[in-house]
Amino acid sequence: MRKRWGSMLLGLLIAGAAITSVRAEETPLPSIVILLADDLGYGDLGCFGHPTIRTPHLDRMAAEGVKFTQYYAWCYCTPSRAALLLGRLPVRSGLNRVLGARSTGGIPDGETTLAEALKARGYATMCIGKWHLGHHPRFLPTRHGFDHYLGIPYSNDMDRADQGEPPIPLMRDETVIEQPAVQDTLTRRYTEEALKFIRDHAALARQGQPFFLYLPYTFPHVPLHASPAFRGKSPRGLYGDVVEELDASVGQVLQVLRQEQLAGSTLVVFTSDNGPWLSQKLDAGSAGLLREGKITTWEGGVRVPCLAWWPGTIAPGRVVQDLASELDLFATCIELAGGRLPADRPYDSHSLAPLFRGTGSGSRNEVFYYFDDQVTAVRQGPWKLHQKTIESASGQTKSQIQSPPLLFNLATDPSERFNVALEHPDVVERLTKVIEAHRASVSPGSPQH
C-alpha cells in the first residue's frame, strides 16, 4: 500500500514537473514596464473624466487594458516610490518622509527592490526619471538592482538656493551629466531613452530574456515644463501641455512595443505617485470627485489613476473596482517573473496576477493610510475610518486628531462629505480594532532623512 502511494506521488511529481516545463516553454517571462507620473491626480486623464486635458494614448491604453478605479498610492513622493519598489509599508524601511537635496539618508542596503528581485530572475533593468530614494552614491538606482539610470535624483523643485540646495542635477548611472537639468526637454529625453532601451533589448526579449523598465516621470510635479512641441497647445494651459506630453510619451512606448512584436509579452502599468498638489493652484492637477489632494490622507491625496495593459492576457476594456495598491505591484511582478516573495521579512503586497490573467479577483481587503510614520485611517470594503485628518489645499498643512473618529461610506459617498459614524457604531468599533491590531504589528525601520 505504501509502495503504491509512493509511486502515485512520484507520478504526480513527474506530471507536475512536465506541466511546469511545458508552461515555461510556451509562456516566456513577460517584460515589465512601469510608468509613474508625479503628482498626477485622479481626475487628470480623459479616461478618468477630465473635460479638457487630451489623453488619447492613455484612453486607448485603458480601452485595450484594465482601469482601476480604487487604486491607492501614498500621499507624497519618497514613501510612494518605496512602497512601489519594495512592496512593504514605507515605515518598515524608514522611508516614510520626503528626502531632499540635503538629505543624508536613502534606501537601506538590506531592502530588496523590485529591480533586484527581477534581475535575479534574469531581467535586464533600467530606471529612467525621478528616483527620490536617496541621491548619495550608495542609494542610487545602480546600487539597487538597476543596470542603468538616467534621470534626476529627487524632485525638480528642490533647487532652492536660499536653502543651500544646488541646481537640479541630471545623472547618467552615477555621474552628473547636466546641471542644472534642462527641464523643458526632460520628458522628451526620458522617452527617447525608453524607446532606445526597449529597441536594444527587443531581440533578447523575443527570445525569452525579458526586461524591466521603470520610468518615473519628473512631471506634472511643479515647476511645470513642456517641450516646445507641446507648450501652449492644451486648452487646460501649461498643466495640460505637460500631461499631454506625458500621454504622447506613453503612446510612443506602447507603439514601439507593438512594432517590436512585444505587445503580447509585456505588462505595462501607468499610474501616479500621489494626488494633485492643490496649493499650486492652476499648476496643480485635479483629484476629480475625490476630496483634497497631496500631503493628505483624504482620498484625493492617495487614490490615483492606474491602467494596466498586456494584450492577449489582460482582457480589453475592463474596469475594476477591487481595492488595489501600488504596494501590490511588487508581488504581482515577482509572480509573473516566476519568483517568490522573500521569506525573511513581512510584505504588504497582494499579487494582481490572477486579476490580470482573468483567473481571479483582487485579494486586498484593506488599505491603511499613512502620514509619515502614523496610520491615520483604514479602509475595509466601502468603509473608511479616519482617526486623524490632514488638510493641505490651502498651502498650510494642518492635522487634526478625530476623536471620535470619522466614518465614510466610499461607495455611496466617494467625496467623503457625510460622516456616518453615529449611524454605524459597530463598523467604527470593528475598524478601530483593525487599526489598533495593525499598529501593534508593524515594526518601524530606522528613519531616513
Residues that bind Mg ion (CB under 5 A): 38-39, 77, 273-274
At its nearest, how many Å lie between Mg ion and the CB of residue 342? Answer: 27
273 versus 335: smaller Cβ distance to Mg ion: 273
CB of 391 to Mg ion, least distance (A): 18
Tell me the HSE value of 154 on the side-chain side, using a 13 A CA sphere. Answer: 26
CB-closest chain residue to Mg ion = 77
- Crossing angle (nearest 10°) for helices 186-206 and 238-259: 20
Quick one: DSSP state of residue 334? H
User: Could you tell me the smallest distance in angstroms from the CB atom of residue 277 to Mg ion?
Assistant: 8
* Smallest separation, CB 274 to Mg ion (Å): 4
CB of 221 to Mg ion, least distance (A): 6
Q: 76 vs 356, which CB is nearer to Mg ion?
A: 76
Nearer to Mg ion among residue 244 and residue 273 (C-beta): 273
* In contact, 30 and 266? CB cutoff 8 Å: yes
Q: Between 39 and 247, whose beta carbon lies closer to Mg ion?
A: 39
Q: Which of 267, 297, 366, 330 is nearest to 84 (CA)?
A: 330
What's the closest the beta carbon of residue 78 comes to Mg ion, in angstroms? 9
CA-nearest of 299, 335, 309, 340 to 35 is: 309
Catalytic residue chosen out of the listed positions 50, 57, 127, 132: 132
- The single residue of 75, 77, 127, 333 carrying the catalytic annotation is 77
> Is 77 a known active-site residue?
yes
Q: How far is the CB of 68 from Mg ion (least distance, A)?
A: 18
**C-beta of 298 vs 383, nearer to Mg ion:** 298
Hey, is 255 helix, strand or coil?
A: helix
What is residue 183's DSSP assignment? G
For Mg ion, which is the closer residue by CB, 76 or 123?
Answer: 76
CA–CA gap between residue 296 and residue 283 (Å, rounded): 18
User: Is 201 marked active-site?
Assistant: no
Q: Which of 407, 287, 225, 309 has the alpha carbon at shortest distance from 57?
A: 309
The three cell numbers of residue 1 are: 500500500
- CA dist., res. 248 & res. 33, Å (int): 16
**Alpha-helical regions (H) of 307-372:** 328-336, 353-357
Distance CA 205, CA 235 (A): 40
Q: Say if residue 223 is preceded by a cis peptide, omega within 30 of 0.
A: yes
CB atoms under 10 Å from CB of 254, counted, come to 24
115: number of CA atoms within 13 Å, CB side?
23
Burial-class residue 307 by CB neighbours within 10 Å (0-12, 13-18, 19+).
buried
Task: State which residue, 41 or 240, has the beta carbon closest to Mg ion.
Answer: 41
Residues serving a catalytic function are: 77, 132
